[in-house]
Amino acid sequence: MNTDQIEGKWKQLKGKVKENWGELTDDDLDVAEGKRDYLIGKIQSRYGKSKEEAKQEVDSFFEKI
């Protein structure tokens, strides 16, 4: 799924994102609005991951859906 598709379907995808990364708040997801870099940054800070780890997780997640 490319970035435009993610942003376009963000309201539908928020629930799946929340299931996968439960520590992200609804406010985090509202601000993200499907923006990949913002989501990566939030996952990185909430879960203490490196930027590369968070990027791989996000990319893998969106490839599966």
SS (H, E, C) the chain: CCHHHHHHCHHHHHHHHHHHCCCCCHHHHHHHCCCHHHHHHHHHHHHCCCHHHHHHHHHHHHHHC
Global pTM value: 0.87
Burial 46-62 (b: 16+ CB within 10 A, else e): eeeeeeeebbebbeebb
pLDDT digits (tens, 9 = 90+) for 1-42: 888 888 889 988 999 999 999 999 999 999 999 999 999 999
What is residue 22's predicted lDDT score, i.e. its pLDDT? 97
CATH of domain 3-64: 1.10.1470.10
What is residue 44's predicted lDDT score, i.e. its pLDDT? 97
CA angle, 11 as apex, 42 and 46 as ends, to 5°? 15
